[in-house]
Each structure stands twice: as structure tokens, then as C-alpha cells.
Chain A
Amino acid sequence: MEATTNIEEFKKHHVRKYIIVFVSLMGLTIVTVTVASFHLSVTTAIMVALLIAAIKGSLVASYFMHLISEKKMIFMTLILTVVFFAVLMGLPLFHHANPITIK
């Protein structure tokens, strides 16, 4: 972000956005805690909690970390990270689901 941005324009667009994201994050935190007290089944509870966490994480990354308006190079780095992360998480889980047993 250029430091020479028009101040009023910046206030109007960016600062307002940050406040909206902050309020949304607070709201989603309340939702997470409230849903956890509903005694849902384990699978549903995990799905709901992780979904809300993913939404909150996306809000932080998109707006506070400015990913929504970032350069291509950052996205290329992140795509590579996502691939490696998926392999890191996927391989042990695949093994767990279908272990090789030695007779």
C-alpha cells in the first residue's frame, strides 16, 4: 500500500472495512462458543467449529493481511504452501485410513 494514499479516501474505504471485519470476528467468536454448548454430535460439532474458524481465518487473511488486494507473487507462494500443507496432512491420514500391515 502506497503511503501517499489520499487520507480521507483511505479512512472512508479501509478503516471502515477494518471495523466491520473486527465486529464480524467478535460475532463469529460468540457463535462458536454458543454452538459448542448445543451438545451436537461430534462430527457436526467439528464441522461447524472448523467452518466458523475457516471463515474467521479468511477474514483476517483477506482484510487485515490485505490478501484480497495482494500481488501475484504472494499467491504463488501461498498456493505452493497449500499444496505442501495438503500433502503433510494427507499422507499420515491416508496411512491411518488404509495402513499397510506386515504379515
Chain B
Amino acid sequence: MEIPYTVTPRPDSGLFNAKLGIWLFLASEVMLFGALFTTYILMRIGAPDWPHGELDVPLATVNTVVLITSSITMVMAWASLVMKDFKKYKMYIGLTFLAGVIFLIIKGFEYGHHISAGELPSSSTFLAIYFTMTGLHGLHVIGGMIVNGYFWGSGSKMWKTEPERFTNRIEVAGLYWHFVDLVWIFLFPVFYLL
């Protein structure tokens, strides 16, 4: 059975199905991270004092730059397909994947430093919410990398048979990846700078 509305928009929504699907998923993700941000605020305003300057700001700044860069490479991957340039698409989606790897390596260094210093989630309320939120975000990065890796590799075969459908798939994967970037844009000041 053929999946309907993968290329042409549905007459009632004006969207191809996957796009509406990803936005509904992202809406649920807003609620997931929203609940954790609320938890953070309540913990912080309820605490007699809150640690400041315990995290590595330069490393996190580099990670912010890496994720923002990955967002433009992701949108350029999609734009390359719109412009029918498959070679450039491959380069940009590969760079997006690479940026994900760099982000996780840097985060791994940070986590490693905390753990070796005995700073575990059980050590304090601050570390508990820090590990929970950045860990959940890291899992989202891994999820995005699996999808992007697939579309860089065997998943890209669809370009030869159904180019428009493949372009839509990359747009949807991009929407998810930009959301992951967007969450980090808030996590960075909340944990590292305030």
C-alpha cells in the first residue's frame, strides 16, 4: 500500500503528512523539555543558594558554536536538494553528522571531568537537574545523528527514485535537528551563565 501525501500536500491541512507529523511530535517535545525547565525554575527559586561558575563556559560556548553551525549545514543540505545538487547535499549532511560527533565528544569531556571529580547527579540538586536536562538533550542529539547518518548513507538512495519525497524527508529531519539546536540555545545560558 502506498503512503499518501508524502509529496503532494493534503487538501485539508495544506501540508505533506510527515511535516504535520513532525510538528506534532515537536509540540510534545516542547512539553517534555518545558516540564524539566519548570522543574529547574522551581528548584532554583526554592534553593537557599545556587552554585555558579562550576561548569566549563568556554567548552559549552564551543559546543554552542558547533550546534549553530550544524543547523546551517542541515538547512543547506535541504537547500542543496531543492537546488538539485546531490553532491553538495552529501557534503552538508555529512558535516551536520560530524558536528553532532564533535558536540558529543565535548560533552563527554565535560561529563568525564565531573565524574572524575566525584560530581555525580546524586551529589546536589544542581548536578541532578544539570545531568538530567543535558543528558536528555544529548540523547536527542544521538537520535538526530542516527537519522542524519541514515540519510547520508543508504537512505539517500531514494534521491534517484523519488527526489521530491527525499527532499521532504530531509526537511522533516532538519526540523527535528533545529529543534535540538533550539533547546541547547536555552540550556546554555540557563546552566552555564546564570
Contact = CB atoms under 8 A, between A and B. Distances in A.
B79 A3 contact: no
Interface residues of B, number: 51
Interface in B34-51: 34-35, 37-38, 41-42, 45-46
Contacts of B81: 3
A68 interface: no
A102 interface: no
A25 B68 contact: yes
A36 B60 CA distance: 13
B68 A29 contact: yes
Contacts of A25: 68, 71
Interface residues of A, number: 46
Contacts of B72: 18-19, 21-22, 64
A74 to B, nearest CB: 5
A53 B71 contact: no
Given A5-B82, A88-B38, A29 B15 contact: no
**Residues of A contacting B: mostly:** helix
Most B CB contacts (10 A, CB to CB) among A1, A5, A11, A25 go to: A25
Interface string B182-193: 100110111001
A56 B45 CA distance: 25
B6 interface: no
B20 to A, nearest CB: 6
Contact of B45 (A50, A81, A96): A96
Contact of B41 (A18, A19, A93): A93
Nearest 4 A/B pairs, CB to CB? A49-B189, A36-B193, A81-B27, A22-B72
Given A45-B193, A57-B182, A96-B45, 16 more contacts: A3-B81, A3-B167, A7-B84, A10-B82, A18-B75, A22-B68, A36-B189, A52-B189, A60-B185, A64-B178, A65-B178, A72-B14, A81-B31, A85-B34, A89-B34, A92-B38
